[in-house]
A = this chain, B = another copy of it.
Amino acid sequence: MASPSTADRAAVIGTGLIGGSIGLALRARGWHVTGHDADPDRAAQALAAGAIDAVGFDPAAQVTFVATPVDAVAKEVAAVLGQVGLRGDAVVTDVAGVKGPVVASVGDPRFVGGHPMAGSEQVGLDGADGELFVGATWVLTPTAITDPGSYARLQAVVVSLGAEVVALSPEQHDALVAVVSHVPHLTAATLMNLADRKAEKHAALLRLAAGGFRDMTRIAAGQPGIWPDVCADNAPAIVEAFDILLADLSAMRDRVANGDRAGLLDVLEHAATARRSLPSRAVRPERLSEIRVPVPDRPGVLSEITTLAGDLGVNIADLEIAHSAEGDRGVLVLVVDADGSERLVEALHGRAYRATARNLQ
């Protein structure tokens, strides 16, 4: 192994696009990064590309990112947590696109599920980029068994890479990505195949495919290989979202068939307004608020409060757990966008937490 260092230490398991990008991002911020890949050539390539400092495992790593395909995550997380001499405050996370099954199968307080929402269109280390996560949303999925300290340390590392952390329960994450990612992807592929079938008879069709069609089907060019796993892991949420989409599309078809001009204009105006107000890559808020929440020292409080903020769309820029002298209580200190502060405090009061907020400079 590498000689002892005073640098913060991290490890990456799986050195593809996401793992490589995490390695580059961490090293650019002064971390020592050890990397492993099931394919030794790929690990060597990551070393040569400067995405990692050393090949192998590192029991001294404070945080380990398991960035393998989803079917290998549980095994790799167990291997990391089972290392001889593993440091006491080690935290492990993953990057899989469906969280429910992975999180359920690991079941360790030191593991927090994660999903960085960036870079899905490229594949392999060649697309790796140390700035990939700047402004990107990075979902973390704490649960009732999650160790609050592990969560707080992981959140700090993820934020330091430039990402905006959204805490959601694994189930909430999976339901929402079905709507904004999985079903749109499968719909893009369906539209592309429909056009391709028509183009067999009418070659002109593809010459009529202008910018709008190209935009809509771009994601269909992505990696087909990952989707059978994604669909298997998230089948219930995908089917539910599909059923809603099918009903909505049927209604749209009927508006056209029935010449319902007012109805068409109404839904299209609504969509245009919603699309125009879709936030672009997150911009760091100008003003921050600090929310202090006295909390009992019992499992699940951290995940309850952070996922409540996530569900409300309130960005947690920083998070700290201050234990009181008595030991059975503590204070959760959250730094959030000032815009969302009141919303979160109100929701916390609704759950009987005595939260207080103050604006920071």
Contacts and interface: CB of A to CB of B under 8 A. Distances in A.
Interface in A200-215: 202-215
A219 B257 CA distance: 22
Nearest to A224: B268
A170 B109 CA distance: 65
Nearest to A203: B313
A237 to B, nearest CB: 10
Interface centre among A176, A223, A256, A270 (most CB of B within 10 A): A256
A206 B245 contact: no
B275 A217 contact: yes
Nearest to A137: B207
Given A186-B268, A217-B278, A231-B261, 16 more contacts: A179-B195, A180-B206, A185-B212, A187-B187, A193-B270, A194-B248, A196-B270, A204-B311, A215-B218, A217-B275, A218-B275, A220-B272, A221-B272, A235-B256, A245-B249, A246-B250
Contacts of A216: 184, 187-188, 215-216, 219
Interface stretch (A8-16, A48-56, A115-123): A115-123
A160 to B, nearest CB: 19
Contacts of A265: 224-225, 227-228
A168 B280 CA distance: 39
A294 to B, nearest CB: 25
13 contacts: A137-B208, A180-B195, A184-B191, A192-B275, A196-B274, A204-B313, A206-B313, A207-B315, A221-B276, A224-B268, A231-B255, A235-B259, A246-B249
A225 B220 CA distance: 29
Contact of A204 (B198, B207, B310): B310
A191 B246 CA distance: 10
A222 B264 contact: no
Interface string A170-190: 001100110111011111111
A228 B214 CA distance: 23
Interface centre among A194, A244, A248 (most CB of B within 10 A): A194
Nearest to A115: B208
Which 4 residue pairs are nearest across A and B when measured between Cβ atoms?
A203-B313, A189-B271, A224-B268, A228-B261
A222 B216 CA distance: 14
A279 interface: yes
A22 to B, nearest CB: 17
A137 B219 CA distance: 23
A353 interface: no
Interface string A118-141: 101100000000000000110100
A232 interface: yes
Contacts of A271: 188-190, 192-193, 196, 217, 220, 224
A181 B313 contact: no
A187 B267 contact: no
Interface in A290-313: 310-313
A339 B251 CA distance: 43
